[in-house]
Copies of this chain bind each other. A is one copy, B any other.
Amino acid sequence: MQKASLPKGTRDFSPEVMNRRNQIIDVIKDVYVLYGFDPIETPAMEQLSTLTGKYGAEGDNLLFKILNSGDYLNKADGQALADKNSSQLVPSISDKGLRYDLTVPFARYVVQNQHNITFPFKRYQIQPVWRADRPQKGRYREFWQCDADVIGTKSLVCEADFIQIYHQVFTNLGLKDYQVRLNHRKILEAIAKTIEFKGSFTDLTVAIDKLDKIGWDGVTKELSEKGLAPNKIDHLKALLHIKPFSVETIDELQASLVDCEEKSIGIEELNQVLQYGDISNVNIVLDFSLARGLDYYTGCIFEAIILDSGIGSVSGGGRYDDLTGVFGLKNVSGVGISFGLDRIYDILASQGFYDEKYTHNTLLFCHFDAVARKYALACAHELRAKQIPTVVYPDLKKINKQFDYANKCGYKWVAVVGDNEIETESVQLKNMQTGEQQKLSVTDLISKFS
């Protein structure tokens, strides 16, 4: 006998959970549609070459690789086999992997379909992604991303739209304590110039990006190792923490950074983004310590968190000037954001959104015998013809067993039928929550539920 179990870090979703997840997805989807985004989907499997090298060395290790079909050892790298070198063997026995995010598949999609796409192209995409990460709170090996991107325009109107989208999505979800953090990669570049950082820009952003996880002690250690002097680290700290984290911060920034092209562009673009839309209701802050781990960002970057949730960011994104370049389509700028469905679900659950007992709105017919069951089937046929979801309890069991079933499943409405109801072409409609009962003709029953 086999044990029924699931791979580590993966989950089943029950009807109860599915309904809630679908509500979250609908909120996000509806806002995306409101802002003119259209849906696309890409396959779970991509060519491994499409995925590798896009997420850093750590990312490559976290890719799920699919074993080639058939006699895969036939074409295996003999040297790697002899050396028992797992990573060296991979390319010769696996040419497909599961997608790691929705951004790289989207870039691949845009390049592959460039002749059928009218730019600027606004797409949303809500699908699972897979990472062989160590499972922990808020982190799964299969999880859902809800992405929206505009590609083929440099207009900062898009950034302004995303800020509104953040406000709308969190407000519609009932998550009022959200915070949108905004920064600009060019500001970070100007900061690097101001502190005269000699290492690679990636070294700096990768270190800053870890601030939430390893704190200033960790970041200091990492940057010292890259040769940054203690006084420069203090300077960096001061620049990243320019206070208050508010829109007025820009003036202070203006005064604190050395003059350079990056500073001009960064400040100019942030100013534009903040004046394209009405942000008076939006909980937005400028946060110069926001770096985003991924290399491809070149302009505005975003992150959204739910304050005091104990879970990291629930969304991130930014502008990229050349994401499609690696696949051969140069100079196409885009900007996008991604919501983490699973983290949003976990936060809503922890805030008591799902404490109420689950109610099933389908009408359940219970019956006293086979004749009554047949009558119930005929009633159900009529109700369904009027688009009213209906179930007939399938077995011939004592009525109390049937009521137990109704209660356990959370059915609110039960239609009870026996000889008397058959004779009068009616049902006894019972509200399982209050216990109230009323006799209704089938016609009235249909009116009530229509």
- Among the listed B13, B19, B66, which residue makes an inter-chain contact with A66, where contact means beta carbons less than 8 Å apart? B66
Say yes or no: B41 contacts A377, CB within 8 Å.
no
Given contact pairs A66-B67, A384-B34, A49 touches B2 in the complex (Cβ within 8 A): yes
Within the complex, what minimum Cβ distance (angstroms) separates A264 from chain B?
20
Please name the residue on chain B nearest to A14 by beta carbon.
Answer: B40
Q: Is there contact, CB below 8 Å, between A390 and B34?
A: yes
Residues of A7-36 contacting chain B, CB below 8 A: 7, 10-15, 18-19, 22, 33-36
Q: Does A45 contact B (CB under 8 A)?
A: yes
| CB 8 Å contact bits of A398-416 with B (1 = contact, 0 = none) | 0000000100110000000
Instruction: Tell whether, in the assembled complex, residue B67 and residue A6 are in contact, meaning their CB atoms are under 8 Å apart.
Output: no
Binary contact track A249-287/B, C-beta < 8 Å → 1, others 0: 000000000000000000000000000111000000000
Question: Residue A434 at the B interface, CB < 8 A?
Answer: no
Q: Choose from B6, B65, B67, B94 the contact partner of A46 (Cβ within 8 Å).
A: B6
Answer yes or no: A246 CB below 8 A from chain B CBs. no
- A128 and chain B: residue at smallest CB distance: B44
Number of interface residues of A (CB under 8 A): 106
Segment with Cβ contacts to B, from A105-113, A307-315, A343-351: A105-113
Q: Which residue of B lies closest to A127 (CB)?
A: B128
Q: A3 on the interface (CB 8 Å rule)?
A: yes
A120 cross-chain contacts in B, Cβ below 8 A: 394-395
Q: Which of A4, A47, A390 has the most chain B CB within a 10 Å cutoff?
A: A4
Tell me if A67 and B94 are in contact (CB < 8 A). yes
* A43 in complex: contacting residue of B11, B42, B388, CB < 8 Å: B11
Query: Separation in Å of the A97 CB from the closest CB of chain B?
Result: 9
- A112: contacting residue among B12, B118, B373, B388, CB under 8 A: B12
Assuming the contacts A118-B405, A278-B381, asked whether A13 and B41 have C-beta atoms less than 8 A apart, the reply is yes
CB pair A36 B3 closer than 8 Å: no
- Name which of A34, A278, A373 has the most chain B CB atoms within 10 A of its CB: A34
Q: Which B residues lie within 8 Å of A224 (CB)?
A: none
Say yes or no: A1 contacts B72, CB within 8 Å.
no
Closest chain B residue to A388, Cβ basis: B34
User: What per-residue 1/0 map shows which CB atoms of A82-95 lie under 8 Å from chain B?
Assistant: 00111001100111
Residues B86 and A71 in contact, CB atoms below 8 Å apart:
yes
The yes or no answer to A236 lying at the interface (CB within 8 A) is: no
Assess A96 versus B34: contact at CB under 8 Å? Given A14-B116, A142-B43. no
Within the complex, which residue of B38, B98, B141, B391 is in contact with A15, where a contact is CB–CB below 8 Å? B38
How many of these chains are in the complex?
A: 2
CA distance A93 to B86 in the complex (A): 10
Residues of the B chain whose Cβ atoms lie less than 8 Å from the Cβ of A113:
12, 14
Q: How far is the CA of A40 from the CA of B67 in the complex (A)?
A: 28
A391 touches B35 (CB 8 A): yes
* Binary B-proximity of A406-448 (CB < 8 A = 1, otherwise 0): 0011000000000000000000000000000000000000000
Q: A47 to chain B: which residues have CB within 8 Å? A: 5-7
| Contact pick for A4, options B14, B84, B111, B395, CB 8 Å | B111
CB pair A160 B409 closer than 8 Å: no
Other-chain contact of A2, B98, B122, B326, B360 (Cβ < 8 Å): B326
- B12, A109: Cβ atoms under 8 Å? yes
Residue of B nearest to A52 (CB): B2
Of the candidates B50, B67, B76, which one forms a contact with A67 in the assembled complex, judged by CB atoms under 8 Å apart? B67
Task: Give A109's nearest chain B residue, CB to CB.
Answer: B12
Q: A36, B390: Cβ atoms under 8 Å?
A: yes
Most B C-beta atoms less than 10 A away, residue of A3, A81, A141: A3
**Which A residues form the contact surface with B (CB < 8 A)?**
1-7, 10-15, 18-19, 22, 33-36, 38-47, 49-50, 61-62, 64-67, 69-74, 76, 81, 84-86, 89-90, 93-96, 98, 108-109, 111-113, 116, 118, 120, 122-123, 128, 130, 132, 141-142, 150, 153-155, 157-158, 160, 164, 168, 276-278, 326-328, 360, 362, 364, 373-374, 377-378, 381, 384, 387-392, 394-395, 405, 408-409
Q: A12-B109, A276-B377 are in contact. List 14 more A-B contacts (CB 8 A).
A: A2-B50, A6-B108, A12-B41, A19-B39, A44-B44, A44-B128, A45-B64, A73-B89, A155-B395, A157-B392, A164-B381, A164-B384, A276-B374, A278-B378
6 contacting pairs across A/B (C-beta < 8 A): A1-B328, A4-B111, A15-B38, A64-B66, A67-B93, A157-B373
